[in-house]
Amino acid sequence: MARFLITSALPYINGIKHLGNLVGSQLPADLHARYMRARGHEVMFICATDEHGTPAELAAARTGEPVADYCARMHAVQEGLARGFGLSFDHFGRSSSPQNAALTQHLAARLGAAGLIEQVAEEQVYSPADGRFLPDRYITGTCPACGYENARGDQCENCTKQLDPTDLINPRSAISGATNLEVRETRHLFLRQSALRERLDAWIDRQSGWPVLTTSIAKKWLHDGDGLQDRGITRDLDWGIPAQFDGAPWNGMEGKVFYVWFDAPIEYIAATAEWAEAHGLPDADWRRWWRTDEGADDVRYIQFMGKDNVPFHTLGFPATLMGSGEPWKLVDYIKSFNYLNYDGGQFSTSQGRGVFMDQALELLPGDYWRWWLLSHAPESGDSEFTWESFQAGVNKDLADVLGNFVSRVTKFCRTRFGETVPEGAAPDPRAQELTAALQAGLTRYEAAMDAIAIRRAAAELRALWVLGNEYLQDAAPWSTIKSDPDTAAMQIRMGLNLIRLYAVLSQPFLPDAAKRLMDALDCNDWSWPEDIAAALATLPPGHAFTVPDTLFAKITDDQRADWAARFAGTRS
RNA sequence: GGGCCUGUAGCUCAAUUGGUCAGAGCAGAGCGCUCAUAACGCUUUGGUUGGGGGUUCGAGUCCCUCCGGGCCUACCA
C-alpha cells in the first residue's frame, strides 16, 4: 500500500465552470483518486477554489456583494456542483483561508531570507476613477496597428498584435470606461526564478514519462529567449494575502497583496491543513503528506491540470518550494490536458458558450457526463463535444452495453428463479473461459488506469462489459433452462456476480451507478478483484437481490435536438 | 514573428525503441438470438496513414518541404 497525494488545478471563484474546465482537471483527478482508493491505497485528494485577484473583485462588484461574501457564496455553489459530479475531494478548500495566508507569508519570508525576492519599481496604469491599478487586459483602446477600437492592453484580438497598454490610442478603463488614466510608479516583489533556473531545469530533466505537453511547455519557458524570467508576485489590490506582515523581510509593501499565481498553488498545501483542522487532527497529520522530513518520503504526488496551468506548476510553484530551502514535497507526475471544444468552437466562460456544470446536472445525472467526458478526455490533442457524440456514447456504452446487461440478467433471474442468486451447477468450461478473458482484460484495464491513460482505460472497461454480453449470448440461459436448469442457474449466478464485478470496476468512472448496482444486489463488498474466479463467487447462492431501476436512460433524438438548440446560443 | 502539438477508414480515436500495425468503437451492410432499455452476439464493407521528396533491407513511425487545424508566447486566471 502506497500513499498518493492528488491535486486538481483550482477552479477560479469567478462563476460556474464549464465542462471543458471539468474534464481538464477535477474529473480526471477524481478518477485517479477513486481508482487508487479502490486499489487499497491511502489517498489525499485536494482541491479548492482560487479566490483572489482582480476578476473576483470585479465579479463581486457586479453583484454588489463584499468580495468575501461573494467568494463564500460561490465556493458553496462550486462545492455543490462538485458533489453533483461525484468529485470525491478529501477536502475542497479556499485559497482565502487563514492557513493559506500563513503559509504563503511563511514561504515568501523564507524566499526573501534566501535572497530570492527583490523589489522592483514599475510603471503601471492607474485609474483614479476606478481607484485601482489596471491590469493590461483591463485597459482597452484603439489598436495602433489595425485601428480596431476594442483592442485590449495586452493584445489586439482583431489583428493579434502584442501590445503594451501605452500603445493604445484613446485608452480607457475596461471596467468603468474612464479615460483619465495615468501612469504611476509602483513597487512590487519579484520572485527571482532566474536564479533557480538550473535547479528547475535539472529537476525537469530528472522526470521521466511526463506528457510531452507538460515538459515541452516547461522547457520553452526555461530556455526561450533570455530564459526563465523573474516574476512579479504582488499586486496593488485589496483582496488577497497581505504582502506586508509581521516578520516580512521587506518594507513598503503596505496595501499590496500576493498575486494569485503565487498563493494559489500554495493552497494545495494549505487546503490539506484545512482538512486536518476540519477533522480535528493535529498538524502532523497533514504535514506527513507534504514534508519529506515528516513522513512524506513515500508519497507519490500527482497533479492534474489543463495546459494553460502548466507553467505555474512546472516552474513557479516548484521554484517557491525549492527556494524556501525547506523539504517540501515536489510533484512527481503532472498530467496535463488539452482543451475540450464545444461543437466547432471553444467553450468560453466569458462568452457563456457551451455547457456549464450547473446546466449539465439539470439535464442528466453526473455519471452520464463523467463517462462521456472521461472516455473523450483531451489527452493527445484538443477534443470536441458534440451532442451527437454525447448521445451516441451514452446510449451505446452506458444504456446498451452496461445498463442492458444488468437488466437482462436480473430480469431473467427474477422470472425464472426469483430474486435470489440461484444455486445450480459448478462453473463449466465456458464460464472458465469467461473468467480467463476477464482476468486478461482486468490486467489491461489496470495497466491503463495505473498509467493514467484515461481514454484507453475507458475503452478497456467497456471491453469488460462486452465480455458479459458475449458470455450471455453464448451461454443462452433462456435456452439451457429448458433442458438443463442447473446449468442455466449457474450461468445466471455468473451474470449476477458479473454485475457486482462491474460495479466495483466501474466505480471510478460511474460512482453513482456503481452504488445503485451494489444496493440492488444488497452487497457492500467493494473489494477490488485479485482473482476473478473468486470475485465471481462473491454473491453466494440464496443471496437476495432486487431488480434495479433502469440504470441509464437513453437520450432520445428529440432531447438531443432540444439541447443542441438550447445551448447553441450563449448563456443568459 | 518564434516555439510546441496535430492531420490515420464517413465520425471519434489506437498503433512499444522504424520491422505482419494499417486496428478498435460508432455509423453502414448481412446473418443469428429473443433473456433484455427494438437491446445483445457473429460476420462484413470502408484507408496507397494531408500532398510531394529523401534516409533505410524496411517508415503513420526518422529528415526536408508544402498545405490544413490547434495551443503557448510570461499583467485574465
pLDDT 10s digits, A285-327: 999 999 999 999 999 999 998 888 888 898 999 999 999 999 9
Q: Which nucleotide is nearest to A412 (CA to C1')?
A: B35
How long is the CA A383 to C1' B60 vector, in angstroms?
20
Residue extent(s) of CATH 3.40.50.620 domains in chain A? 3-114+195-228+258-337
Residue extent(s) of CATH 2.170.220.10 domains in chain A? 117-191
A571 has a pLDDT exceeding 60: no
> Packing angle between helix A454-475 and helix A27-38, nearest 10 degrees?
60
Residue at minimum CA to C1' distance from nucleotide B27? A392
Strands of the sheet containing A42-49, edge to edge, are A91-94, A42-49, A3-8, A299-306, A333-337
| Whole-Å CA distances, A108 to A7, A115, A207, A222, A233 | 22, 11, 26, 22, 9
Highest mean pLDDT among A194-203, A281-290, A441-450, A553-562: A281-290
Mean pLDDT to the nearest integer, A199-221: 81
How long is the CA A257 to C1' B57 vector, in angstroms?
66
Give per-residue pLDDT as tens, A230-246.
888 998 888 999 999 99
pLDDT at residue A519, rounded to an integer = 97
A117-191 is classed CATH 2.170.220.10: yes
Say yes or no: ipTM exceeds 0.85. Answer: yes
Q: In CATH, what is the architecture of A3-114+195-228+258-337?
A: 3-Layer(aba) Sandwich (3.40)
How long is the CA A449 to C1' B16 vector, in angstroms?
17
Distance separating alpha carbons of residues A51 and A223, to the nearest angstrom:
31
Q: Which nucleotide is nearest to A549 (CA to C1')?
A: B37
Hey, is A491 helix, strand or coil? helix
Q: What percent of chain A has pLDDT over 90?
A: 61
∠ CA A122-A266-A293, rounded to 5°: 125
Distance separating alpha carbons of residues A120 and A110, to the nearest angstrom:
18
Nucleotides of B under 7 A from a protein CB: 2-6, 11-14, 24-27, 32-37, 39-42, 69-77
Q: Which of A450, A441, A315, A389 is nearest to A39 (CA)?
A: A450
How long is the CA A470 to C1' B42 vector, in angstroms?
10
Overall CATH class of domain A375-535:
mainly alpha
Residue extent(s) of CATH 1.10.730.10 domains in chain A? 375-535
How long is the CA A469 to C1' B44 vector, in angstroms?
20
How long is the CA A479 to C1' B41 vector, in angstroms?
15
∠ CA A178-A182-A187, rounded to 5°: 125
pLDDT at residue A344, rounded to an integer = 67
Distance separating alpha carbons of residues A305 and A26, to the nearest angstrom:
8
Strands A3-8 and A42-49 come out as parallel
First to last CA, chain A: 49
∠ CA A378-A380-A386, rounded to 5°: 35
Residue at minimum CA to C1' distance from nucleotide B25? A459
Q: Which nucleotide is nearest to A223 (CA to C1')?
A: B3
The 10 Å Cβ neighbour count of residue A106 is: 15
